[in-house]
Amino acid sequence: MEGFDNIVSVNWLQANLEQPNLIVLDATIARVAGSQSNPEEQQIPNARFFDIKKDFSDVMAEFPSTIPSEQQFEQSARDLGIHKDSFIVVYDSKGIYSSPRAWWLFKTFGHANVAVLDGGLPEWKAHHFKTEFCQDNIKLTGDFKAKYNPSNVVYFESLDAIGKDSEFKIIDARSNDRFTSKVSEPRAGLRSGTIPSSVNLPYTALLEGNTFRSIKDWQSLFSGLAKSNQQLVFTCGSGITASVLSLAATILGYSNSVYDGSWTEYGTLTTETMEHPNKWSKDELLAYILLFIAHSDLDESKSEKEYILSRVDKSVYQRVHEKFEEDNDYQSIQNIVEAVKTHDYYRNDLADLFADIKLMAFADGEMDQMEKLAYNTLKKILK
């Protein structure tokens, strides 16, 4: 179909809406933080509801949005009247949020002809194109055939090895505040944190309003985080917005996959133990380094504590402080060395880190001799 690609515009869809083998799917889901699915109850004409949370997830799995079996996906797609030769356009009512998850699922189950509608329903309505009230799906019969592609998916058991392999780069699509534990996870009972060795690229950084930014902008974002020959592994809260990054990476030519369980699974299956520095988050490492400076003169002042608490969450500070008090100077240095190996620090990151270290040293008014010694030690470790 002429003009059909991984992303299509609302103008393209309007012009091709009556094509006999084109199927439009509404892949809207509610955001975790609370807003309801498509509150206007409107849809693009003849759209069929692609129920990510029910029909296209393993509802018996422990974690939300778990990828379904090949058999479940095939049958659910057939029930929507999808055929092997169907051209599929997916959208959602948020603009760009859950529709790339539907795109990724079709790609993972072997269907090439699927595209995301740039801007989704908001962009469609902004162009004053026709809408209709949402309707319940009528069970149809398609001949869709699923063929699972395991290279598109990463599972929990593989993460430790991937994190230690320089051929891979783990990229987290959550907001920076969630990634750095500055805010709590929206799911009740789920701890904050990050997967070791992961870096952050919020999915919203790929957007401008409801639509995608330019390919040039994407290239700039990705080239700052990964090498062109690295295999990218995307994660988020539960595998939904990681698919936004997967879509962009695919268009840019990166080999990539999605960690299906994402932070919901990882944060549940791992503990907050500080016994293994190679599993510390960047915030935990920062807190430990700042404590190393603060205690270099054997006395953590009130102003030094306040500075650390201005940089990391109180729960992180308390957890790291307990660990720091157990360690002697030699152990502290070894812990920092091991933890630093876990995280890739680029030039700007290092500059920010040393700025924090200097501010820590001057938090109580001056940098004394012991703090200078500790600072120079860190310069050797972190260079």
**Can you give the pLDDT at residue 353?**
82
From residue 17, alpha-carbon distances to 1, 51, 89 in Å are 12, 21, 10
Do 7-148 and 152-269 share a fold? yes
**Can you give the pLDDT at residue 101?**
99
> Of the listed 236, 274, 312, 367, which one is catalytic?
236
The domain spans of the chain are 7-148, 152-269, 277-382
Which of the four pLDDT bands, split at 50, 70 and 90, describes residue 150?
A: very high
Name the helix (H) or strand (E) containing 119: none
* CATH level 2 (architecture), domain 7-148: 3-Layer(aba) Sandwich (3.40)
Across 125-134, 270-279, 318-327, which has the greatest mean pLDDT? 125-134
**Can you give the pLDDT at residue 30?**
62
Active site residue 236: yes
Give pTM, 2 decimals: 0.74
Q: What is the DSSP string of 163-210?
A: HT-TTEEEEE-S-HHHHTTSS--SSTTPPP---TT-EE--GGGGEETT
Q: 256: which strand partners?
A: 232
Distance from C-alpha of 215 to C-alpha of 196, rounded to nearest angstrom: 29
Q: Note the pLDDT tens digit of each residue in 75-121.
A: 999 999 999 999 999 999 999 999 999 999 999 999 999 999 999 99
Q: Note the pLDDT tens digit of each residue in 292-312.
A: 888 887 778 888 899 899 988
The CATH label, of 3.40.50.1000, 3.40.250.10, 1.10.150.130, 1.25.40.340, for the domain at 152-269 is: 3.40.250.10
**Can you give the pLDDT at residue 345?**
62
